Amino acid sequence: MQPPHANPAASTACTRNRPSFGPTHRLSRSPSPASLLFSLALALVLSLSAGQTGQAQSPQGQPPQSFRIPKVTVDDIESDGEPSDALAAAPRKIIVDTDPGVDDAAALIWLLSQRRYPVTPLGIVTVAGNTSLDNATTNALVVLSWLKRTDIPVIPGAAAPLSPVTLSSTGKLIHGPDGLWYLGWANMQGLPPPDSRAADTFYCQTLKGQESEVLVVALGPLTNIAKAMSVADCGVDWSQVQIVSLGGAKVGGNQTPATEFNMWQDPDAAAAVLGKGAQLTLVTLDGFSQFTIGPAMLKVLKHTGAPAMRALLPALQTYASVLSSEGGEAALPDPVAAMAALDTRLALGRPGLVKILGSDVPEYVRGQTVIALDLAEWSTLAATDARLSEIANTVFEDPSKPNFDYLMGAIGAILMENPPNATVVADILARQMRRVFLQGVTAHAGANAPAPKRGDAGSDPETSAQDDSPDYKLYLPGIQVGPGGQ
């Protein structure tokens, strides 16, 4: 029997992680004196902004990490397509804010299994998003039990969006009614209790005094972080806090045609975080949709996955079948944010100006992110047409003698008033990420574990070894899903 959620109509309705949208198109023009001056003005503003931020936040005068994501290409990675281990140093302190979620669970398993980038997890804060807060908290505890990491505190956060909107139930179509396709509900026995602290209290206590040392990896709506930022006596200098957030889109959406899910679910929280001056990196739909999972990778994980990943596999298989058609690939967003947070060379980030539509607009555009990455976009996002028209009229007041010096100063003033408020990751090195991900979650995960040698990081269906490994099945009420299912 075919699962009802796998039929074409149901698959079409499940848009949370749909990768089928057009590429980002960059504006290309022939250079002119005006455009060259515009470019110089923008370069000057970005340089001054990064320098001022660095002086304010680092004793060494270095700009913050989120504004130093390099523009790299495949050629910058080692010849075998695998990042070196040179980045591994002292363990990085991290907080994960998450709404597990099948892809969130996969990200947690990678973060806590891999050894390439040492981390010290300070806590996992849960939030309502893919599923309810209770389910998200249970699922985080279940994943930690699989990983034998019950020493990590799990702090329940916001049960509803900060925005005056209702928590969506559409995540049930993608992640199941419990967020892990029944694995959460089936593994609740014997779990330790969650931490008793409120999420904002945890953030304030944990970040205070070590803001620049802690990396916050936000995989769900930004509700918890926005609430912590609003605490008057929190004592945290948020301008020094590095946050890597999965959310937003330069082009298109996956919840509606215009909006990415995390931003759509709580746009007012996202706007509050954008306006607080934190060192924010947005890993957008444009980038994370390039990282996919399909039959080949699932086969590798089935035969060589680490125990926690094999425990997740039934839910991962169902997730992939819901989001793909005819055995194709499905986007797996959350591991992308986790990997981009720990290895910035895998993420092609650029300083950007980001604005977001709040909750007071029609639902289909709620949470839409408008992102400016080049000069033409930046000036029209930062200033009204009336102001730009006034500048143009002044420049050509005497058509025979255009005043481009005035133009440079006027545009420079606009850009200085609206400096970058995020690093935007709209592209990734997907092939290298696949290798890094598989190295972290296979049975011999570790800094020196070899990646699968054939194909594209396990994209070759023949990569896996034993064919006598047991089939993993997930039993839904009246439905058998997974290899061997009918």
In a domain, 486, yes or no: no
Rounded to two decimals, the pTM is 0.79
pLDDT at 61: 34
Q: Is the pLDDT of residue 135 over 90?
A: yes
- Across the range 290-312, mean pLDDT stands at 94
Q: Considering its fold, how many domains does the chain have in total?
A: 2
C-beta neighbour count of 350 within 10 angstroms: 18
pLDDT at 444: 58
pLDDT at 376: 84
DSSP state of 351: E
State the average pLDDT for the chain.
80
Provide the pairing of β-strand 279-283 with 119-126: unpaired
Residue with tokens 């990590």: 152
Residues 147 and 182 in one domain: yes
What are phi and psi for residue 245, nearest 5 degrees? -115, 135
Determine the number of helices (DSSP H) and then strands (DSSP E) in the chain. Answer: 18, 13
Q: What percent of the chain has pLDDT above 70?
A: 72
Residues 78 and 220 in one domain: yes
Which CATH number goes with the domain that contains 441? 3.90.245.10
Residues 237 and 282 in one domain: yes
Rounded to whole angstroms, the Cα distance separating 463 from 445 reads 16
Q: Mean pLDDT lowest for which of 222-226, 241-245, 459-463?
A: 459-463
Structural domain boundaries enclosing 81: 4-20+34-374+419-469
Residues 132 and 103 in one domain: yes
Residues 429 and 406 in one domain: no
Residues 391 and 261 in one domain: no
Residues 345 and 258 in one domain: yes
| 206-231 confidence digits (pLDDT tens) | 999 999 999 999 999 999 999 999 99
What are phi and psi for residue 244, nearest 5 degrees? -110, 115
pLDDT at 374: 86
| 81-129 confidence digits (pLDDT tens) | 445 554 446 789 999 999 999 999 999 999 999 999 999 999 999 999 9
Q: What percent of the chain has pLDDT above 90?
A: 67
Rounded to whole angstroms, the Cα distance separating 337 from 281 reads 9
pLDDT at 156: 98
